[in-house]
Structure 1
Amino acid sequence: MTRSRVFGIRAAAAVAALALVGGGVYFAQSSSAANPAAEPAATGSTVSAAATDSKDRIKFGKKYQGVATSYAADGSGACNFKPGGSMMIAALNAPDYQGALMCGAYVKVTGPGGKSIRVKIVDRCPSGTGTSGCRVNQLDLSRQAMNKLAPGQGKINVTWRLVSPKLKGPVQYVYEKGSTKWWCGVQVRNHRNPIRTVEFKTAGGWHKVARRDYNFFESKNGKGCGNTIRITDVKGNRLVDKGIKISTKVQKGKKQLPAV
C-alpha cells in the first residue's frame, strides 16, 4: 500500500516584550513559566515510580496484536527526523503515537511465520479504517522492513512489543531551527528508550519544558535554553548533559540510557 503524508514543522519565533528602563532596553520574560523542580539526582540516576510508564498505552513487557501495512518511507515524518539512514523504520497509529512519546522508540515485530524484525518509530499514521488510515495497534512499516518480514506482502497480522536495544554512541540533542535564548525547542535523538521529559537547568533549579506532537520540547520564554539538559525516560532513568549549546547541529551527550 502506497501512501503519501505531509507534516509541517511549525515555524516558531521568540516573541519578547521590549521595555525601556533608564535609557536601556531589556527583554521582559513571561511570568507563566512552570515553577522549577528540585535539584537533580546524580547523572545516570533513576527517579521514583511516579515517572514510570503506568499510564502509557505502550509499555515495556507487554505484547500487542494487530496488523502491519507498508508505505514508501524515507526516514522523515511526524517525528521530524531527517530523511535517510536505516530504512528499518515504521509509522505508528495515532493513539499509540501518544503525542510523540513513541518517537525514536524501537519495537520488535513478529510476523505470521514467526520471523521478527526491529524497527524505529519515525512517523504517525493517520487514523482511519480505510486504506489510508491506521487502527489502534497497527504499524505501517517501510517497504524495506515489510520486505524483510514478509516479502511480497502488503498487509499481514503481527504481534509487536517495545524493546530497549543496544545503540552505538550516547544520546544526541539538536535545537529547533529559529531557537534563541528567548525561545527554543530541542529534540532528543539516538535514545534506546522513549523519552518522558526534558528539563533545562536554570538559576532557580530545573525547568520542565513542554513536549509538542512534532517531537520537540519547547521553552516558550527561553528559560534555560542553551544550558544543561536533563532527560528522563519512561522507566524513570535520568541523564544530565552539560554544555548543550543552541545549535541546529547534532550534539552528543555523555552517556546512553540503560537497558530495560
Structure 2
Amino acid sequence: MEETRQAARQRRRRRRLMVGGATGLVVTGLLACLVMAMQPDRKEDAGRAAATAVANSQASRTPASPGKKKSPTPSPSEVSASPSAGAKNKKKKPKASPSPSPSSAAPRKAPAAAPSGGRIRPGSTYQGVATVYKAGVGDGACSYGPSADMMIAAMNTTDYETSKACGAYVLVRAENGASVTVRITNECPLPCAPGQLDLSEQAFAKLAPVSTGRISISWSLLSPDTAGTISIRYKNGSSPYWCGIQAIGHRNPLARLEVRAGGGWRQLTRTDYNYFLSPDGSGCGGAIRITDIYGERLTINGIAVRPDAVQPAGVQFARH
C-alpha cells in the first residue's frame, strides 16, 4: 500500500516537471519571438532619429534673405592677428604723393639765398603801373640822403618790405617800348599797390610825358655794372653802447648785415628806415659782414664808430 502511494507521488512530480519544462519552453519561445519582432522597430527608430537630426541641422543653416548675406564666422586665426603683424602695420607710413610735373609746378623759384632778400626775386618780371612824384634832392625813406643821380624811384609798401628793396636797381619797361633803369631810394605808401613804382619826374620822362601821370609797366631786378665800392655809415647817436649801421652803394640788394660779437657773427635787425640796429652795442666798431640776395658774403674791417660819416669799405658784390 505504501509502495503504491510513493509511486503515485513520483508520477505526479514527473508530470509537474514535464508541465513546468513545457511551460518554460513556451515562455522562452514567446520571449524570443518578442525580441525578434522588436528589432526592426529599433532600426526604424534609429533611422528616424538620424533623419530628424539631419533635418534639424539643415533647418539651422537656412540661408539669409538676398541682399543681406551673412559674413562667415572667421576662424580664430582670422579674428586676432599676431602682435608682430600688428606692429608692422602701425609702422607703415603712407607713401608720399609724387611731385608735380614741371608743367603743373609753382612759378619758377629764385636762387636759394633770394628769399632772405625779400619779395623781389632775381629773374622775375613784375607787372604794375608807374606814377610820378617830385623827388626833390632824391632823399627818401631809405635814408641815403641827397642823390647825385635822379634816376630813382619809390617802391610800393608791399614790395618795399621794411626797406629790403632799398638800393635795388630796377629795369622799368613801358608798353611803348621805352625803358629806364632806376635805383630804389624811397617808399610809396598806400594806396600804392603791389607792383607799382613811383618814379621821379626825371625817370618818368624817359618813358612818357610827365603830364601823362600814370602808365602800365613791367619791371625786373638788375645787377648792373656800377662804378665804385660799398660804403658804411653809422647812424647819428651811435656809440659803443648802441649803434645803427647802414650800407650804401651796394650793387645787389642786401639780405642781411652781421657784426662780430661774442666769438661769432650776430645778425642785426633791419628797420624800415634802412639801418641795422645793435641795441646793446655789441659789435659796434668791430668787423661787419654783409650778404646779398645771391648769397655772396663780404667782410669789412676797420670801420670806426663815427656817426653820420660815410666810410668807404673798398669792396663790392659780384655782378649777376
2:139 and 2:146 in contact (8 A); partners too: yes
2:290 and 2:299 in contact (8 A); partners too: yes
Alignment pair present for 1:181 and 2:243: no
Residue of structure 2 equivalent to 1:170: 229
Spell out, residue by residue over 1:92-137, the C-alpha distance to the aligned partner (whole angstroms, 9 max, x if none).
1000001100001110000111111000001111111xxxxx1110
Spell out, residue by residue over 1:111-168, the C-alpha distance to the aligned partner (whole angstroms, 9 max, x if none).
111111000001111111xxxxx11100000001011221242110001001011121
Residue of structure 2 equivalent to 1:62: 124
Q: In 1, Cα distance between the equivalents of 2:180 and 2:112? A: 32
Residue of structure 1 equivalent to 2:115: 53
Q: CA deviation at 1:214?
A: 0.7
Bigger Rg, which one: 2
Q: In 1, Cα distance between the equivalents of 2:261 and 2:303? A: 13
Q: In 1, Cα distance between the equivalents of 2:166 and 2:302? A: 24
* TM-score, normalising length: structure 1: 0.77
2:179 to 112, 116, 132: 116
Q: In 1, Cα distance between the equivalents of 2:259 and 2:118? A: 24
Aligned residues with identical type, % of pairs: 46
Spell out, residue by residue over 1:54-86, the C-alpha distance to the aligned partner (whole angstroms, 9 max, x if none).
783210100011100000003111111112311
Give the alignment of 1:170-209 within 5 angstroms. Answer: 170-209=229-268
Residue of structure 2 equivalent to 1:252: 312
Structure 1: 5+ residue stretches without partners: 1-48, 129-133
Q: Could you tell me which amino acid in structure 1 is paired with residue 273 of structure 2?
A: Y
Residue of structure 2 equivalent to 1:19: none
Q: In 2, Cα distance between the equivalents of 1:50 and 1:206? A: 21
Residue of structure 2 equivalent to 1:219: 278
Q: Find the residue that maps to 1:168 and give its secondary structure.
A: coil
Q: In 2, Cα distance between the equivalents of 1:195 and 1:207? A: 16
Query: 1 or 2, which has the higher helix percentage?
Result: 2
Moved over 6 A (4+): none
Residue of structure 2 equivalent to 1:126: 189
1:141 to 199, 212, 215: 199
Q: In 1, Cα distance between the equivalents of 2:145 and 2:187? A: 15
Query: CA 1:54/1:186 → structure 2, altered by over 3 Å: closer, same or farther?
Result: closer
Q: CA deviation at 1:254?
A: 2.3
Give the alignment of 1:32-43 within 5 angstroms. Answer: none
Q: In 2, Cα distance between the equivalents of 1:99 and 1:203? A: 28
Residue of structure 1 equivalent to 2:28: none
Residue of structure 2 equivalent to 1:160: 219
Residue of structure 1 equivalent to 2:30: none
* TM-score, normalising length: structure 2: 0.63
Q: Find the residue that maps to 1:145 and give its secondary structure.
A: helix
Alignment pair present for 1:233 and 2:292: yes
Q: In 2, Cα distance between the equivalents of 1:221 and 1:166? A: 38
Query: CA 1:218/1:55 → structure 2, altered by over 3 Å: closer, same or farther?
Result: closer
Residue of structure 1 equivalent to 2:42: none
Residue of structure 1 equivalent to 2:139: 76
Q: How many residues align?
A: 207
2:142 and 2:186 in contact (8 A); partners too: yes
Structure 2: 5+ residue stretches without partners: 1-110
Structure with higher RCO (Cα < 8 A, 6+ apart): 1
